[in-house]
Chains A and B, each alone.
Chain A
Amino acid sequence: MAERRHSFEIDWWLLTIVMLICLVGLLEIYSSTHGGPLHGMQWKQLIWIGIGFAGMLALSRIDYSGLLDQTPLLYILSIAALAVALVVGSKHFGARRWIEVLGFNLQVSELVKLIIIIVLARYFSEVRTDRLTLADLVKIGVLVGIPAGLILLQPDLGTAMMLVPVAIVGAFLAGIDWKHAAGVLALGAVVAVVGWHGHFLKPYQKQRLATFLNPEQSPRGAGYQILQSEIAVGSGGFWGKGFGKGSQNQLGFVPVRYSDFILAALAEEQGFFGVLIIMLLYLALLLRLVDNAQKAKDRAGMYLVMGVAAIFAFQVLVNAGMVIGYMPVTGVPLPFMSYGGSSTIFGFLALGLVMNVRTKRFVN
């Protein structure tokens, strides 16, 4: 069969870009942790990258049409897994988001992100009209809302929010009435206000959001993190203080400098120049994803790729924005750079989906 001949097609450009980002991440993880009790973290990250890479290869071999076929089952399974994680999951950093699988603590919500991409891709590709109807929007809202709500309960505001751009980008591509768009925006505002004044956000989440608005007010409180991050970034200047020489980074002023705030560490040590390079890499990654979407064989494939792109873009925007104080601290990692098993593996699995779609484009 023709499918067998072209069963595996790697996007070398995409892979090169991603590997460069991973390399920068590894170096900065090393720089941030080599002097302290966390030294050697880069090797752990390298293992995550390896596992992720294997996962990517595996996923790219599975026919995505088969995955799309299984969406109801996958969706129900993911909801169930989230519920299980909430009830019996082990507690890390005050949040129930991990299930132990094969000795690894896996963050269920990362897998759920993948599944939501697939579920929404199927939903959007089934829409035959040029514009989404109000009923469509409600259904999408429910489809995204249930897992997002469960993730929020863990509580993990960052990951919960990551599901939203998948829906938004999909809706935009599928076509949306501007009145509906305005309505969704208004609804979002209402949800935000109710969420704030109700008891849906944990105190630390509220505090993070509050101090984001005025970080200088309490340097040792939650705003401390943002301020220290800004100091790290700002003091880096154009050329940076040099590898392993950032005082903010090396002396531990930058919070979780090897993970969520790794960009602050990079900005301090490599300066604006380093930031420029990494931002161009992310731009290249995102544009390459859009390119893949444009060349997808069908709408479902396009929605899959754009779902992945939406999440990556959201992560870059929110994480980088947080590091320079434009976004609240929500625990959104930088894809392929921040240390972390679940997020790294998710990134590569998402790439696997993209490769999968790419492989399909030659198949007729």
Chain B
Amino acid sequence: MDPAKKEHELLVSVSPHVRDSVTVSGIMWTVSAALLPALGAGVYYFGLSALYVTLICIAAAMASESLVNWMTDRKGSLSDGSGFLTGLLLGLNLPPSAPPYIPIIGAFVAIAITKMLFGGLGFNVFNPALVGRAFVLITWPRAMTTWSKAAVGLQQVDATTTATPLGIMKEGVAVSGHTIKGIEALVHEFGTKSDAYKAMLFGNIGGSLGETSAVLILIGGLFLLAKRYISWHIPVSFIGTVAVLAWIFGGIDNETGKMIFFHGDPLAHVLSGGLMLGAFFMATDYVTVPSVRKAQLIFGIGCGALTVLIRLKGGFPEGVMFAILLMNCFTPLLDRKYRTSPFGLRKEAAKQ
């Protein structure tokens, strides 16, 4: 070895000289992988059209990202995996029967407008997939709320439509002349309470692709928790708040049509709709939620409260999407308010 030659080859860079192997793209692809069981369930129950909707979303999301990168002379950012993930999440938020223009336009709004025009990954204020969904929901309300009935089998030709469990609870079902709502309506539709829970747990219900099987989303979410890619703070505070508030305010007296306190069914609210997907995969989107733990708890409670408010009193049967988007607005404020207190400061402050 020639020492003189070696000398000029030495790298000089700032410390630290070792780095953890976790990367942004690694996180994004892992989160995408954690969503695959839920996607699989969607395809299992709703057929290949469900897969097409998701694939169109992903393709349109990545195309939109490339387009904006090209227009703004930035270097490509597809490899960070966040565009793919947004597309996948949007796909899981659409009805399996959505016509192709809905996923395409939804993905464009999500990626081009919500993410890239705000500066790309790390700079967006709102969860891109949810803004995409909100846009198409408001633009095409009928197509976005026509839910295919879940039916096992990949070659579904003539899909029948149904309502989501939340829709059933909110709108009620007509039984011998008068309408019954709430958990009793679900019991009427599914036979028994436990049959209703079972259907919602495993996904044999109407709904978006990804809101069908609570248990498969939970598996993906627990995997992310175990990998420490997400922390428990938001999912627990979000779901917990929904459960408590649904219990307090969700009860309905079908004789009088009035709310009765402390008679709601928390489990029906927790297992139905987009709550699992929202709490584990959307309200934990790093960029648009607080990063301080204490602020995350407030964020989750806010999401839960808004969700229940919209579900019980709002115009839509489901409120997870708007709840998260509204709370996204508060993210910078929460992070600022709940700034961490440095080591050694608390004691000093206590003394003064």
Q: Do A and B come from the same complex?
A: no
Which B residues lie at the A interface, using CB under 8 A? none
